[in-house]
Amino acid sequence: MTTTTTERAMDTAERLLLAPGRLNLASIERCFGTLMAHRLDYADLYFQYQRAEGWSLEEGIVKSGSFNIEQGVGVRAVSGEKTAFAYSDDISAAALEAAAKTTRAIAAAGATAVVPVRAAKQRPALYPAHDPIGSLPDAEKVRLLERIEQIARGLDPRVTQVMASLAATWEVVMVARADGHMAADVRPLSRLSVVVIMEEGGRREQGSAGGGGRHDYAAFTDEVLRDFAQKAVHQASTNLAARPAPAGMMTVVLGNGWPGILLHEAIGHGLEGDFNRKGSSAFAGRIGERVAAKGVTVVDDGTLPGRRGSLTVDDEGNPTQRTVLIEDGILTGYMQDMTNARLMGVAPTGNGRRESFSHLPLPRMTNTIMLAGQHDPQEIIASVERGLYAVNFGGGQVDITSGKFVFSAAEAWMIENGKLAYPVKGATLIGNGPDALTRVSMIGNDLALDPGVGTCGKEGQSVPVGVGQPTIRLDGLTVGGTA
């Protein structure tokens, strides 16, 4: 995969974000001069330009198509634990000055020097700067959706309905900080999804699949389309044959890849810096303690090339990194943005993320992964006398403070005498994230990442994320069922 340099990203950012409003580095320094006329601990400017489109096909007809452009700048000033924030969709000297005057009101008296703003030299970008929206003519985008519909219908005569969607964004961001640091990033993102409805004997079930990443539409080859269609049809077919899921305490085996969403929700949020600084996480104050079974190692890695959750730099201008959160069962760290890192007396980890220029950054996950162990996945299933094998998940809920979670399985099987006996429907996993970590008894050698579909919500903000894990066995998890 070709990469672009951050120097080229800065050129793109200056052309799209600064030049139209006749802004330059001197304009930014004047803005910081206004902000820092009173004492602040930190201040930054976040410029953003984004193009986005979405297409959906149902029953061979384009049901919707959308395209929009969004741009603006957010101005943040931080003093102690207080934060002031103003934003504008007008990127101009007048708008910067007005926002700066609004935000500086939180600061205490006392002048602070402003360092000249200069672009920092950073590593090569983790993804090409190609605009996915312009990578195919509109007619070809529709044909792409028609093609996956044709493939899905051709796989099984029981398929009665197919819905497919295609979406992409191309985003250019620039971060300027009062400490003189300046960074830019050009971020492509595309995703293709398919849902199939199958009917047999008066019963109706659905299956879904899809994926994407920080690339253009050329990644969606016929081979990829067939893979997505086969997975969706397989899931729907499996659910057509499924029996009602039993309920009770039992051994649960989680499949590799996307089931890592349970790890993300039930454990990952509890390892974000803000919840731990405020003491509201079940993991607060437990650095150095055993919080999981031996063998459990969890990392957040924003540096994986082309992945949906990856970022060359975060939304505060810091390079992302591979942060070890839990190592061999011992809690070793949290994910940090700059504000919470400063207040906790630690270094930021490149996890400051925001939905757009009109939002404040928060400590957020990128790609959150449990690392592989030594066991063959078939060995794990064979070790279970009676239990549940959860292959895929739909929706779920989690309480960050307690770690309690409820997740619905989109595809699951009963294990009997070490073998997959029959598929079940209506299974939910109920538990407590920190407690579940201690119940991991076997970890597979088949680590896989999700196909690129994750979106994480926090405090009303949504950002793309990735998850991953190997097959794992958990002993004694509560399963809610309908049998």
Residue 218 to residue 195: CA distance in whole angstroms: 21
What's the average model confidence in pLDDT over 311-318?
A: 97
CA angle 200, 204, 206 (to 5 degrees): 115
Mean pLDDT taken over the chain: 93
Going 11 to 17 to 23 to 28, the CA torsion angle's sign is: negative
Residue 190 to residue 27: CA distance in whole angstroms: 34
Identify the pLDDT of residue 117.
60
What is the band of 3 on the pLDDT scale with cuts at 50, 70, 90?
Answer: very low
Token pair, residue 83, equals: 């934060």
Identify the pLDDT of residue 105.
73
Identify the pLDDT of residue 118.
67
Q: What is the DSSP string of 56-96?
A: EEETTEEEEEEEEEEEEEEEEEEETTEEEEEEES--SHHHH
CB atoms inside a 10 Å sphere around CB 80? 13
pLDDT in tens, 111-168: 444 556 666 666 789 999 999 999 999 999 999 999 999 999 999 999 999 999 999 9
What is the band of 394 on the pLDDT scale with cuts at 50, 70, 90?
Answer: confident
1: helix, strand or coil: coil
Identify the pLDDT of residue 266.
84
What's the average model confidence in pLDDT over 405-413?
A: 94
Residue 168 to residue 476: CA distance in whole angstroms: 41
481 compared with 186, residue with greater pLDDT:
186
The continuous run of DSSP H or E covering 477 comes out as strand 472-480
What's the average model confidence in pLDDT over 230-234?
A: 98
Residue 189 to residue 213: CA distance in whole angstroms: 6
